[in-house]
Amino acid sequence: MIGPHDVIGKLIKLSFDVVRGSSSLGAYGLSFQFIKDVKPKIDEHEIYVEFHCLEIMLNSSTVGRAFLQGISVVKFHDFEQTDGRLNFILELDRTRLETLEEIRNGQELELDFWIRGVAHIDGTPDPIYYHEKVKINQKQWTDALNKAGFLKYFTFETSFPSDDDSDFQEVQAYFGKAQQLYLQGHYGETLVNCRCAMEALEKGTGITSVITEARQQFCASKNAREDMTLEERIHLLYGATKSIAHLGAHSDGNSEITERVMRKEAKLVLAMTGALLSHALGL
């Protein structure tokens, strides 16, 4: 006698394949794909299987519920199925995804997947469940986050000139590397590349002198400080951000360090760098 416990495991074998990112309206979309391997024959039983949703857990806490993209059914009596894969779409708002990233903290991500559905065996419906513990490697996950646009919300979707100016290409290269290092959990190196991006910006725009002048005016006297314009005060942020980012050069592999760069500091400097790059380039 075939029961619901026979359906997944004996008749249908599922295995996690890949996670992909996609932009969604007001949310960050992640698509979890499973390969579906179906046994081609079964004797004398009419079985109709519907897949419904994927519940995702992290450290026994619920991440969210992903819903099937399209319709996926298996009919064993005539061996009819839609395709060989299941795609579940999970939408997360900014706060929930940021919380998930804080827990991950630049490491690999281990999730518990529970796929739920219903098997109709000879006309009798029974719930079915499938559990798989999956470790998603860092690169696959960060690629999905990039595709979903996760980094844009705190780096202000920084744009760069589209011409072939090598100085601006250098800025873009350093800042892009800083973003990826942040996702990978290399927070000290994130700061190093933020500083390099700021230095490349100074080289490309010639703003080094105005940053120095703003700092000198700020330190000159109380009256001089109070007379500073908004633009001059913003120039102080350039110098201060670059100064903070310089700490990253001393954060990794140095036994004499008293402070280690953590995620929240790297996030702050990355956000400040992105905002200042956008401001300096007038974008």
Residues 272 and 217 in one domain: yes
Helix (H, G, I), strand (E, B) or coil at 105: coil
Q: What percent of the chain has pLDDT over 90?
A: 30
Whether residue 87 is found in the same domain as residue 196? no
Q: Do residue 73 and residue 126 come from a single domain?
A: yes
CA–CA separation, 123 and 120 (whole Å)? 5
At 272 the three-state DSSP class reads helix
pLDDT tens figures, 116-166: 999 998 889 999 999 999 999 999 999 999 888 887 766 655 655 555 555
Q: Tell me: the pLDDT tens digits for 50-80?
A: 999 999 999 888 899 999 988 888 888 777 7
**CATH code of the domain in which 102 resides:** 2.60.40.10
Same domain, 14 and 80: yes
Q: Directed axis angle between helix 138-148 and helix 166-183, to 10°?
A: 120
Is the whole-model pTM more than 0.85?
no
Instruction: Please report the pLDDT score of residue 15 as a whole number.
Output: 93
**Which residues span the domain enclosing 230?**
152-280
Residue where one domain finishes, among candidates 130, 148, 166: 148
Task: Please report which helix (H) or strand (E) contains residue 198, including its range.
Answer: helix 187-205
Examine the domain organization and report whether 98 and 181 are in the same domain. no
State the total domains in the chain: 2
Kindly state whether residues 91 and 192 are assigned to the same domain: no
80 with 92, same domain: the answer is yes
If asked whether residues 171 and 259 sit together in one domain, one would say: yes
Final residue in a domain of this structure, among 94, 120, 148? 148
Q: Are residues 171 and 254 in the same domain?
A: yes
Pair 34, 40: CB distance under 8 Å: no
Q: Out of 148, 174, 189, pick the residue that ends a domain.
A: 148
What pLDDT, on a 0 to 100 scale, did the predictor assign at position 19? 95
Query: What Rg do the C-alpha atoms of the chain give, in angstroms?
Result: 26
Same domain, 37 and 135: yes
pLDDT tens sequence across 184-200: 889 999 999 999 998 88
Mean pLDDT estimate for the chain: 84
H or E element at residue 169: helix 166-183
DSSP 8-state secondary structure symbol assigned to residue 86: E
Q: In sequence order, which residues have a C-beta less than 8 Å from that of residue 104 and are 6 or more positions away?
A: 141
**98 vs 235: CA distance, rounded Å:** 30
Q: What CATH number corresponds to the domain at position 203? A: 1.20.120
Is there a single domain that holds both residue 181 and residue 276? yes
